[in-house]
Chain A
Amino acid sequence: MTPPCPLHTLPVGRCGTILSIDAPAELAARMRALGLQPGRRIKVIRRSPFQGPIQVRAGQTDLMIRRAEAAIIQMQPCPEVECV
């Protein structure tokens, strides 16, 4: 099994399950409202150039998130054959 890694290191096209989010209560609430919470399966769609934000797909919603915020989300990468 692949070891856990933070979201901003997950390669484009890979999916994973959120293990934990180390955010203050308010930010966590906002992430939750947008579909980012432990247990959810999300997929990295693309990265913006020059260390810009990352586009992720959580269920039916596409989101952008800065690398700094992505770094506090711990992911369990899933085996590559699954579809999200």
Chain B
Amino acid sequence: MSKRIALVGMPNTGKSTLFNRLTGAGAKVGNWPGLTVELLSAKLLLGDGMVELVDLPGLHNLHGFSEDERVARRFVETQPLNGILVVLNTTQLERQLALVLQMKSLGLPMFLALNMADEAKHRGIRVRTEHLEAQLGMPVRLISAKHGQGVPELKQALTAWLREHPQTTHASAIALTEDDVIEDTLNDILSDSLHIPICLSPTRTDRVDQWLLHPWLGIPLFLLIMLAVFQVVYGIGAPLQEGLGWLLDEVKTLWLAPLVAGLPAWASSFLLEGLYDGVGTVMSFLPIIVAFFLAMAVVEDSGYLARAAFLMDALMARLGLDGRAFVMQLMGFGCNVPAMMGTRVMRGRAQRIAAMMMIPFSLCSARLQVFLFFTTAVFSPRAAPWVLFSLYVMSFLLAFLTAWLMRGRTRHALDPLLMELPPYRIPTLAALARQAFRESGHFLSQAGGFIILGVALVWFLTHVPLDVPPASPATLAGQIAAWIEPVFTPLGIDQLLSIALLFGFVAKEVVIGALAVIYGAGGDELSGLLAQRLDWIQAYSFMLFTLIYTPCLSTLATLRSESGSDRVMWASLAWSLGAAWLLSFAFYQTARALFG
């Protein structure tokens, strides 16, 4: 039977860094019996045997206050283990050591790794490891997981330790030691093994925080930083997305089209315009997701995310959310998909679901394309920027309205915002790259299948029956459009536009292309046609509906996989569609009544 170790530690101890340092690239997420969440695990070679290392969620104690803590506790209590490797932040040993004492009551073999030893040394904190080993009755090693110091020695010591504990054992299900008892023991141990300088001089972090957390400048600087992050993500991601789109198109016309030329027209259309373009839609999101996660990893690992939460919490707490939700909402203005994946930094499930329900209203770059086209086509150059601005305002209002409507659920479960403000740290490139790579793989595997299915469905609707022009009134889509006409007529949206909305359901990027197919005209000609056919009230009503009705299939797929619940996805869809209809209706009818 293979050996297994659980990796345990408080948040901000560099636990994941150590996990990556020990195991390298081969980590995988997996399900465990009896657990609702997936855990990261990897095999590593220790001595002459393979050992499975399981990375448990960060926890403060074993009382099970948060979901993460319950998961971690359940894991160590139910899974047979050779032992537990506890990682602590050496600079905060005086409070973190309590976790080790608490875990001792589980009766499992333990090993203590004191991380960030370099930072501790720099601050003048000294640990006498031999004393600590004797008092705790377990091996103790000082390491720096980020830079790798002490890690080879740690591996050697782990090998020897495992040789002493060759059999897996179950934790004893005894009650946890009383916290007060722990406190007494802790003070004895600390006075003997730990030296902390009495007065600490102001650190670099303190000086940076004087600016970044300034009472007046803090929030403007936060918005500037987010703007910069945004520029970098889309500055890098968008050209790559375009390039990838071009590449996929070339492959299609040069290689795939000749390849399927022998097939019947409907089959080649299905393969190329249905499946291939569907896969292409998924793939084209990848560069932005990679760039986003690189940027988010910098924001999070540097310690700034906690500061952003500190600055924005006053506003968000009134809506039953914490400050991190606002950061993700802003990120959604680029692309909803990675923003939704980014909500993982939020711990409480109710908060996370609420944040995920808000994000679809963030006016993403794909919707912006549609609006830019429509505003230039229908509105005067002087009015256009204001029209666009009003859509951004709507986007914010709807997101906050969503949070406000859900506040009953979230406020009651509002996690007391007890968070550490870690010192600023410079993230390592290797950790960033690993993170981005893992997230993009996750996106592809989770959302891919669902999107392909949806694209195939839209192809089917717009191409069947096969003997009529695609997307014309005679197709299934056209028939549906005719059938739901009574729903859209009060919004000023005609049948042709409602077919475009059907395409927009897959991805907003294809709306303009779809309109070109539907009207049989592209580019400037299409602008002219739209200006002729639509007055400003109809155009604005259409844009309002496009903004709200649903972000895209990728976002819905991500919402489903991230929340792990079909119900949440359907609820979000129903709420978006309902709100879109009501607002467009209210706008169109009022504007018609006022301006004729």
- A associates with B: yes
Residues of A within 8 A of B (CB): 25-27, 29-35, 37, 46-53, 55, 58-66, 68-69, 83
Q: Are A34 and B95 in contact (CB under 8 A)?
A: yes
15 contacts between A and B (CB under 8 A): A29-B179, A32-B179, A46-B213, A48-B218, A48-B313, A50-B315, A52-B317, A53-B310, A58-B95, A59-B196, A60-B125, A60-B200, A61-B420, A69-B416, A69-B417
State whether B95 touches A30 (Cβ < 8 A). Answer: no
Residues of A within 8 A of B416 (CB): 27, 30, 65-66, 68-69
B204-243 contacts to A (CB < 8 Å) = 209, 213, 215-216, 218-219
Residue of A nearest to B95 (CB): A35
A35: chain B residues at CB < 8 Å are 92, 94-95
Chief secondary structure at chain A's binding surface: mixed
**Interface status of B498 (Cβ within 8 A of chain A):** no
Q: Is B61 touching A52 in the complex (CB atoms < 8 A)?
A: no
Residues of B near A27 (CB, < 8 A) are 65, 416
Looking at chain B, what size class is its interface with the partner chain?
35 or more
- Given the complex of chains A and B, what is the CA–CA distance between A30 and B419 in angstroms? 10
Q: Which residues of B contact A58 (CB under 8 A)?
A: 95
Measured between alpha carbons, how far is A27 from B64 in the docked complex, in Å?
11
Within 8 A of A (CB), among B86-144: 91-92, 94-95, 98-99, 123, 125
B591 within 8 A of A: no
Docked complex Cα distance between A69 and B309 (Å):
16
**Which residue from chain B places its CB closest to the CB of A37 in the assembled complex?**
B183
- The reply to whether the CB of B63 lies closer than 8 angstroms to some CB of chain A is yes
Flag if B421 contacts A64 (CB, 8 Å): yes
Contact (Cβ within 8 A) A49 B314: yes
Min CB gap B199→A, angstroms: 5
Q: How far is the CB of A43 from chain B (nearest CB, A)?
A: 11
Take A27-B416, A30-B60, A30-B416 as given contacts and tell me if A52 and B313 are in contact as well, using a CB distance cutoff of 8 Å: yes
Least Cβ–Cβ distance between B508 and chain A, in angstroms: 35
B306 at the interface (CB under 8 A from A): yes
Report the separation of the CA atoms of residues A63 and B11 in the bound assembly, to the nearest whole angstrom. 13
Distance of A69 from chain B, by nearest CB (Å): 5
Bound-state Cα–Cα, A34 to B95, Å: 7
User: Are A64 and B310 neighbours in the complex by a CB distance under 8 Å?
Assistant: yes
If A37-B183, A48-B311, A59-B95 are given as contacts, then 4 extra A-B residue pairs at C-beta distance below 8 Å, sorted by A number, are: A61-B420, A62-B422, A65-B416, A83-B199
Quote the shortest CB–CB distance from B95 to chain A (angstroms): 4
- Interchain residue pairs A-B with the least CB separation, the first 5: A52-B314, A33-B60, A50-B314, A35-B95, A62-B421
A65 touches B95 (CB 8 A): no
Is the Cβ of B317 less than 8 Å from the Cβ of A29? no
Binding site for A on B (CB under 8 A): 10, 60-61, 63, 65-66, 91-92, 94-95, 98-99, 123, 125, 179, 183, 196, 198-200, 209, 213, 215-216, 218-219, 306, 309-315, 317, 416-423
Per the bound structure, the CA–CA distance linking A53 and B198 in Å amounts to: 27
Given contacts A27-B65, A64-B310, A83-B199, contact A32 B92 (CB under 8 A): no
A49 touches B218 (CB 8 A): yes
Q: Report how far A63 CA is from B95 CA in the complex, Å.
A: 13
Instruction: Find out whether the CB atom of B91 lies under 8 angstroms from the CB atom of A64.
Output: no
A35-B309 Cα distance, complex, nearest whole Å = 20
**CB nearest neighbor in B for A51:** B314
CA distance A50 to B317 in the complex (A): 11
By a CB distance below 8 angstroms, the chain A residues around B310 are 48, 52-53, 55, 64
Chain A, residue nearest B316 (CB): A52
Q: How far is the CB of A83 from chain B (nearest CB, A)?
A: 5
Give the shortest distance, in Å, between B71 (CB) and chain A (any CB). Answer: 16
CA distance A1 to B414 in the complex (A): 37
For A63, give its contact among B65, B125, B199, B418 (CB under 8 Å).
B418
In the bound complex, what is the Cα–Cα distance between A15 and B95 (angstroms)? 19
With contacts A59-B95, A60-B92, A61-B95 taken as known, whether A49 is within 8 angstroms of B216 at the C-beta atoms is yes
Chain A: CB-nearest residue to B311: A48
Cross-chain contact A29 with B420 (CB below 8 angstroms): no
Residues of A within 8 Å of B315, CB to CB, are 50
Residues of A within 8 A of B94 (CB): 35, 59-60
Tell me, in angstroms, the Cα distance from A55 to B421 when the chains sit together: 8
Q: How far is A71 from B391 in the complex, measured between Cα atoms in Å?
A: 40
Interface centre among A34, A35, A52, A59 (most CB of B within 10 A): A52
CA distance A60 to B310 in the complex (A): 19
Contacting residues, chain B, for A65 (C-beta < 8 A): 416-418
- Determine how close the nearest CB of chain A comes to the CB of B92; give it in whole angstroms: 5
Q: Which residues of A contact B215 (CB under 8 A)?
A: 46-47, 49
> Given A58-B95, A64-B309, is A34 in contact with B60 using a C-beta cutoff of 8 Å?
yes
Contact across chains for B314 and A34 when beta carbons are under 8 A apart = no
Beyond A48-B310, A48-B311, A64-B306, whether A31 also contacts B418 by CB under 8 A is: yes
What B residues does A68 contact at CB under 8 A? Answer: 416
Once bound together, how far apart are the Cα atoms of A30 and B417, in whole Å? 11
* CA of A65 to CA of B218, assembled, Å: 18
Given A61-B92, A61-B95: A30 touches B65 (CB 8 Å cut-off): yes
